Amino acid sequence: MQKHGEIKGKAPSESIVEMTNLVLPNDTNQLGNLLGGRLMHWIDIAAALAAMRHSGKVCVTASVDVINFFEPIKLGHVVRVLSSVNRAFSTSMEIGVKVFREDPLHGVQLHTSSAYLTFVAIDQYGKPLQVPPITPVTSDDIIRYEEAGIRREQRLKNRELLKEARKKTSG
């Protein structure tokens, strides 16, 4: 039962965003591959949209944990960027992003990249706002939810280790 003032949880499926882009000459390097920075831009936009869809608020990128590039994406390929919220904390959300390329001439699709980003919902003054929790529904939702918690613990642990290292070197 939902308590008064408690924010109702949402399923990860409610935040899903799919963006589709065609790789044009201006998007590529000298080898005809999609520029990594262009793909990172698309990933950031898809993740921001998923965060906003989940929270109903303006959201900003707080961190990018990892972006893995498994396969190149070539000129003329269609790029599908899929994102959704893996887990929501008090004011932040971890967004998972998967990228697929499709060769439209041959119909072959391949998973090319994955990323994890953290977004924070903010008000008009840039102050963090509370976001709805995630309510995992499928077994995949539950796995992504649990893994997001582990990644968050690691981020916080790393933050503390770096803080301690700075104290040692500046003291």
Is residue 2 assigned to a domain?
no
Backbone angles phi, psi at 93, to 5 degrees: -140, 140
Is residue 1 assigned to a domain?
no
Is residue 118 assigned to a domain?
yes
For the chain, what is the radius of gyration of the CA atoms? 18
The model carries a pTM of 0.90
What is the CATH number for 30? 3.10.129.10
Q: For 10-29, how does the pLDDT look when each residue is reduced to its tens digit (9 = 90+)?
A: 999 999 999 999 999 999 99
Range of the domain at 97: 12-170
Torsion (CA) 157, 162, 164, 170 in degrees, nearest 10: -170
Q: For 62-96, how does the pLDDT look when each residue is reduced to its tens digit (9 = 90+)?
A: 999 999 999 999 999 999 999 999 999 999 999 99
Cβ 144 vs Cβ 96: under 8 Å: yes
